[in-house]
Chain A
């Protein structure tokens, strides 16, 4: 069964590592862009008038000022450290939320690391020491006078432990070898504890440890404070199960404690080897996990210092176009027409037939041309809009723009009315209709035509 599953787990492991490397960006490492640097710095600087927010997330006026300053300084060509130093020179060292790795503040980085090492050491100590043989339970009590309470507590623990092992084996949680090993060990310990005090001493303690151990150790159910129905079942079940591996009879379990040393020996070395293998596996997994824990912060910090959550969504080309168009529209709304025009042009350079960009660019060129009285721009605007109209004949925006240029620039009301009719026929949304209402009305009135029904009153 192990062989069959091996390829599956290797496959899973390989797929996982490849996916993580691909997703983590190992195949596409580029130096951080200016915007990324600004974002990284902003996520380390504290908002001066807030308590724990960084300037990256706060909308307080002081944060806005700091963000503007950071962008300005980075654009001027200063390094990340220089920008930080400037802010520290204004606000003091407590403005940086990432404590420096020098001087006393190194403690805040070192102490958790020390804590981690202590945790690993405790884990190893608890697990390794137990495996080397429980000092408590294996202490040699022969030749000494034993405190009954202590012995009683151990006896109870061991008998309960044996009963649990039986049940777990029945449930399929324990493998044969593990079950035998546990039983061997605990029965041996039980035997070493001596006879149970409540057991009527059969005269002198003849037969020594093994027979003394038999009544209490051989029948785990007997010692269990759980009632009799369990005892025979447990014993029967145990006996049945020990048949395959040891020459056992009803007292075979006790006998194997002292006799059958060779059997114990070989079984013991096999167990030891398996235990060693398992320990290596644990060690390997632990190393991997530790490496991961160390690698993740290093990994992320190399890419963007100070910013630990470095995820980003890589957009497909069409998503990128949509996003640039959105940005341009926002820029337009904010009145940054030049920036908006630039963004549209960048879309068109990659997708010359993107009608939306073309139309909006045309309109922008017209607006800029009109305010700057640049006739070349206006001509360009007309050309762009004409092309857009060819690409998508039923775009209401193109018709609206063309109509407005014809009306406002050329004073050509009839041609404008033509365009406006097509605009109305293209089912523009109500908001646009009401925005354009005044101009449309004026055009129709000037051309002497009745204003169509779809035009809302001003």
Chain B
């Protein structure tokens, strides 16, 4: 919206009386132009909002998707909680079974679709490490009935022990939120790694090699 320039046909400016007119017409400097003193409130407020919004967009743009975000477990670096109880076949079980070996503790459920992707990889891992002193594998049932878990493991062809956890206490002590969750426990009992996604046999081998190299 542009303000029209004053032309000669505009009505005479408001004045106190006729006295000013002659002065104005008599060669005095042209009267100052009156534009309403604009407060730039809107402009400053808008710019402020833009700055804040830019910051927000920058933050949102750099976030990884929540499903693959690194979720740190507070257990990493600390002693692993005890893994004790009864297996799905009814036998007693407690870690450590063979001292001085790495243990992979895997939480799963029969209704969990990524666990079904992970299963064959675990079978492969167990097959490759079946000699004494090799890393061991333990599965723990998460939020599932013992019968369903037993059937699932049997169908998978699991050769390693599967711990039943009917009250969910093992899952709580490990801080497991959703299956599949895998913990790597070093021979001295400390947790060295935590994976919240389906693992592959080579992932596990890499992790163990790294842990060995760093002296765990």
**Is A–B contact present in the complex under a CB 8 A cutoff?**
yes
Interface of A with B (CB < 8 Å)? 48-49, 60-62, 64-66, 68-69, 88-93, 135-136, 139, 141-150, 192-195, 197, 201, 204-206, 208-209, 212
Cβ distance A173 to chain B, nearest Cβ, rounded Å = 30
| A49: chain B residues within 8 A (beta carbon) | 143, 177-178
Complex Cα spacing A308 to B176, Å = 29
| A93: chain B residues within 8 A (beta carbon) | 74
Please give me the residue from chain B that is nearest to A89 by CB atom: B74
Complex Cα spacing A337 to B35, Å = 88
Cβ distance A36 to chain B, nearest Cβ, rounded Å = 23
Q: Which of B10-18, B54-62, B122-130, B155-163 contacts A (4 or more CB under 8 A)?
A: B10-18
Q: Flag B3-33 by CB within 8 Å of A: 1 or 0 each.
A: 1101000111111111011000000001111
Tell me which of B18, B36, B37 has the highest count of chain A C-beta atoms within 10 A of its own C-beta: B36
Q: Can you offer 30 A-B residue contacts whose CB atoms are under 8 A? A: A48-B175, A48-B176, A48-B178, A49-B177, A49-B178, A61-B143, A65-B167, A65-B168, A65-B169, A91-B175, A92-B71, A92-B73, A92-B175, A93-B74, A135-B37, A135-B39, A136-B37, A139-B37, A141-B14, A143-B32, A145-B31, A147-B6, A147-B34, A149-B3, A149-B4, A195-B11, A195-B14, A201-B11, A205-B15, A205-B17
Is B75 an interface residue, CB under 8 A from the partner?
Answer: yes
Cβ distance A118 to chain B, nearest Cβ, rounded Å = 11
Please give me the residue from chain B that is nearest to A149 by CB atom: B3
Give chain B interface residues in 30-69, CB to chain A under 8 Å: 30-37, 39
CB atoms of B14 and A146 under 8 A apart: yes
CB atoms of A62 and B172 under 8 A apart: yes
A-B contact count (CB 8 A): 111
Q: Flag B168-194 by CB within 8 Å of A: 1 or 0 each.
A: 110111111110000000000000000
Is B214 an interface residue, CB under 8 A from the partner?
Answer: no
Cβ distance B12 to chain A, nearest Cβ, rounded Å = 7
CB atoms of B3 and A147 under 8 A apart: yes
| A135: chain B residues within 8 A (beta carbon) | 37, 39
Please give me the residue from chain B that is nearest to A68 by CB atom: B167
Complex Cα spacing A192 to B37, Å = 17
Complex Cα spacing A93 to B175, Å = 11
Complex Cα spacing A66 to B175, Å = 10
Interface of B with A (CB < 8 Å)? 3-4, 6, 10-18, 20-21, 30-37, 39, 71-75, 143, 167-169, 171-178
Complex Cα spacing A136 to B34, Å = 12
| A68: chain B residues within 8 A (beta carbon) | 167
Complex Cα spacing A212 to B174, Å = 88
| A90: chain B residues within 8 A (beta carbon) | 74-75, 172-175
Complex Cα spacing A64 to B20, Å = 89
Complex Cα spacing A62 to B166, Å = 11
CB atoms of B18 and A145 under 8 A apart: no
Cβ distance B161 to chain A, nearest Cβ, rounded Å = 22
CB atoms of A92 and B18 under 8 A apart: no
| B71: chain A residues within 8 A (beta carbon) | 92
| A194: chain B residues within 8 A (beta carbon) | 13-14
| A65: chain B residues within 8 A (beta carbon) | 167-169, 171-172
CB atoms of A197 and B33 under 8 A apart: no
Please give me the residue from chain A that is nearest to B39 by CB atom: A135
Tell me which of B11, B15, B17, B171 has the highest count of chain A C-beta atoms within 10 A of its own C-beta: B11
Complex Cα spacing A141 to B33, Å = 10
